[in-house]
Amino acid sequence: MLDAIGPSGASKFPVVQLRVSYANDIQDLWYLRGDLMAILANLYGEALARVQLTQISEMFKGLLPSGLSSRPSPLGNS
């Protein structure tokens, strides 16, 4: 997540960068994905942000309680 934010995101959005850096557990990071999406969309546009967030969300597979997994969007991927 920090790599995705990068130096320019960290300077523009320091609070989120700190929240990611000091997250207590995997669930805290999971809930920060919305903030991360907002940063990435601001920096790179929504289409690229969605791709990056999908890749990041894949990293959570098998690490979260079953109720916290992503559900498929009714809007699809386009």
Residue type, 42: N
- Cβ-contact 60, 27 below 8 angstroms: no
Global pTM reads 0.82
pLDDT band at 68 (very low <50, low <70, confident <90, very high): confident
| pLDDT for res 67 | 77
Q: What is the per-residue pLDDT across 10-64, written as a single tens digit (0 to 9) for each?
A: 999 999 999 999 999 999 999 999 999 999 999 999 999 999 999 999 999 988 8
Q: What is the CA radius of gyration of the chain?
A: 13
pLDDT band at 71 (very low <50, low <70, confident <90, very high): low
